[in-house]
Amino acid sequence: MKSLELDLSGIRSLVSDQELQAWQTKSDAYVAQLHAGTGQGSDFLGWIDLPATITDQDFTAIEAAARSLQERCDYVVSIGIGGSYLGARAVIEALTPTFAAYRKEHSAPQVIFAGHNIGEDYLSELVDFLSDKRFGIINISKSGTTTEPAIAFRILKGLLEQQVGREGARERIIAVTDRARGALRTLADKEGYQTFVIPDDIGGRFSVLTPVGLLPIAVAGFDIRELVRGAREMKAQVDEGVPFAENLSALYAAARNSLYQHGKKIEILGNFHPKLHYIGEWWKQLYGESEGKEHKGIFNAAVDFTADLHSMGQWIQEGERTIFETIISIATPDRELRIASDADNLDGLNYLAGKRVDEVNKMAELGTRMAHVDGGVPNIRITLPQLNAYYIGQLFYFFEKAVGISGYMLGVNPFNQPGVEAYKKNMFALLEKPGFEEATQAIKSRL
């Protein structure tokens, strides 16, 4: 079976082989700390061995729950925010046929996402849409009190109970939550919802291979066993004991930190496949939330090429030289489409006649990478042989392992997110939430 490939040739003009190799001793030590649980954030390392510990019984339970929703629903709303929705959405968007919703080519229920914003128009329009539809809910929250998903669940639970009654709603709501604590666990036990557990030792942005991600992906009709198999295969390739020169995650982490030390403060994740958009969104959270601490960290952005070459392309080519690129490339597309010859040739494209569209796309990719490197933007390339569940599983684990190593190289705890609480405190104070009276008075004095 082929595997993900990492190409660092595009950084050689700035980072030498010797400089990259100089990370080996530290990298080996950080990998050992991750596996021994002796580094920062050791309470949240359950993701490291997760792919190898998921059992057939685990798969069977998730698949059975997915079938239950599939039988009862045409639409399933997955409620969650951040790591509770981005991984599942990334996989579903990448694997769903682009026009399936219009042509009804995909037989599984359509998974809709909510709870990742507090847009009144979005939620109101979602309620209007679902008001005459057969729908179910997957509510994903460790606490059950996170504002954005809690609002969405309260509204959609009420709508579902209006449609099918409390008993009917019980068969169409699944909670993915804490094992024993929290508001959602209490409600699920009271109402008799089927539940799956978010492990205590896995943070949200590392949770895509838990029921947080696997259940919505299974509901959407995709092979979660292949997703996990890909992650399991990548785990073996980047595991403790794999030499630094062969460990793709360690090499990527070292390359990023070398570039950071050279003043490259922004990493742009680009792709030349439109279905990879939400892979970029998932990656942004994984790296931004893991490394942006103590006034350190690479700023993460994502672009979709070639579209963004006509918007962000100018800045990338000639803007401030504080950036580097990581490009995700898909070696072989699923479909074949060739460009026909035209007798008039008014568009001047006959020189492309007979070529596959993907050949043009690949040359756009190569030409872009060459131009950006020539323009002072170092380039890392990650190649997936195909866009399928197996290789996405590889990619997820590759990135997860790399960010753990990279965070330690940077000198931060990559497994906490203390800064995320700041906006919540202000929001609760502004809304006069009970328990925030002192903060409310303090913040009102600033207005």
The catalytically annotated residue of 296, 424, 425, 444 is 424
Helix ranges, 48-199 (H): 50-53, 56-72, 86-95, 100-103, 120-130, 147-170, 183-191
Identify whether the C-beta of residue 197 lies closer than 8 Å to the C-beta of residue 61: no
The two tokens of residue 316 are 């990338």
Say if residues 378 and 13 touch (Cβ distance below 8 Å). yes
Peptide bond into 322 cis (omega under 30): no
Q: How far is CA 355 from CA 342, 344, 386, in A?
A: 13, 18, 20
* Catalytic choice (289, 291, 325, 400): 289
Is 289 among the catalytic positions?
A: yes
Choose, from 104, 190, 295, 310, the residue flagged as catalytic.
Answer: 310
Question: Sheet holding 135-140: strands in order across?
Answer: 110-114, 75-79, 135-140, 173-177, 194-197
Tell me the two tokens of residue 109.
């229920």
Contact indicator for 152, 146 with CB cutoff of 8 Å: no
Query: Any residues with CB less than 8 A from the CB of 120 and at least 6 apart, and which?
Result: none
Structural tokens at position 53: 């510990």
Q: What 3-state class would DSSP assign to 422? A: helix
SS3 assignment, position 303: strand
Question: Is 424 part of the annotated catalytic residue set?
Answer: yes
Spatial contact of 233 and 383, defined as CB atoms under 8 Å apart? no
What span, in angstroms and rounded, lies between the C-alpha atoms of 130 and 3? Answer: 41
Q: How far apart are the first and last CA of the chain?
A: 61
- Crossing angle of helices 86-95 and 211-219, in 10° steps, is 30
What count of other Cβ atoms lies within 10 Å of the Cβ of residue 210? 25
- Count of residues for the chain? 447
Is the CB of residue 216 less than 8 Å from the CB of residue 227? Answer: no
d(CA 127, CA 129): 5
Residue 219 in contact with residue 138, Cβ under 8 Å?
A: yes
CA distance 44 to 129: 39
Residues with a known catalytic role: 289, 310, 424
